[in-house]
Structure 1
């Protein structure tokens, strides 16, 4: 199973399976709800790899995610369309689109492994637009995801986006820093820790 992520506003960012290592979606209601709540919120947690380009150490296009997180709330650029795809057996098992998404939290961790780090971000749909979240499944994979799947099958790394590329790669198993980022993100939306336990068990199977 693999993951892709696209972010759209005035331009489009696409991150393939070589970058995105974990996606978790949570639909929450207030803990004291005794009937269907009108105060639900839906959150997407994303963890991915950072690759420094060989030679000059420059960041990949993931820096644009960092810059998006910095945009103040009063700026319309703070809200973007985000689509996550879960790829399995050459098909899109699940496709989730937040059409009014904003960044709640963003973090980056850097390691002493040459050219490799990880980022974690928490994205949420604007609360009055919850009913506009689109969920689908069993679809043919999109063009960007198709390229990423083809690159993975060929044993090569795909581009971060159509205009950027990455050199080098991380191992297939998420390291301890990535696990810490996942746990921290999930505990924000599920303080009981249940979601984090389930997610970590899934990662251990990779």
Structure 2
């Protein structure tokens, strides 16, 4: 199983199978509701490895994620176009597209035991744009 995360905005951010260790999707409604709530949130969580820039690169894409997490809510760039692909073999099992995503939380942990460290990011779709979220899958990852 592998993952691809592509984010389009002021910077293009691409994290792939060499970076991402885990990913999850959640459709979230209030737990205290007795009927289908209109308050629906869409959440994606991603955990991965920080990879050191090589070959003269100025930064890796995890650094771009960290910088995006600092963008003020008042700026248009706080919201970006995010696609997470979950891949098994050569098949995209799930492709989740959040066209108005923002970062809720971003954390980096560093260690001297295994590589540089890890990152953990939580993304949400802008609430009034939930209907724009798409979930697809069942096609070749070569597309």
Distance 1:17 1:94 in 2: 15
Which digits, 9 at most, give the CA deviation of each residue in 1:93-129, with x for residues without a partner?
1100000000000000000136421000100000111
Q: Which residue of 2 aligns with 1:71?
A: 71
Match of 2:103? 103
Change (3 A) 1:109 1:10: same
More helix by share: 1
C-alpha separation in 1, matches of 2:123 and 2:19: 17
Pair 1:114–1:136, CA change in 2 (3 A): closer
Decide whether the 8 Å contact of 1:51 with 1:59 is kept in 2. no
**Which runs of 5 or more structure 2 residues have no equivalent in the other structure?**
none
CA–CA separation in structure 2 for the residues paired with 1:91 and 1:137: 8
Aligned equivalents of 2:3, 2:61: Cα separation in 1: 17
**Helix, strand or coil: the match of 1:77?**
helix
Aligned residue number for residue 16 of structure 2:
16
Larger Rg: 1
Relative to 1, partners in 2 of residues 1:130 and 1:55: Cα closer, same or farther, differing over 3 Å? closer
Instruction: Write out per-residue CA displacement over residues 35-89 of structure 1, whole angstroms, 9 at most, x where no aligned residue.
Output: 1111010100001101224699x75221100010000101000000110001012
2:49 is equivalent to residue 36 of structure 1:
no
| Structure whose residues are more often strand by fraction | 2
SS at match of 1:62: helix
Q: CA deviation at 1:139?
A: 1.7
- How has the CA–CA distance of structure 1 residues 142 and 37 changed in structure 2, closer, same or farther, with 3 Å as cutoff? farther
TM-score of the aligned structures, taking structure 2 as reference length: 0.91
Q: How many residues align?
A: 142
The 1-side partners of 2:54 and 2:90 are apart by 31
Counterpart in the other structure of 1:88:
88
Q: Deviations over 1:123-159 (max 9, x none)?
A: 000011111100001022156xxxxxxxxxxxxxxxx
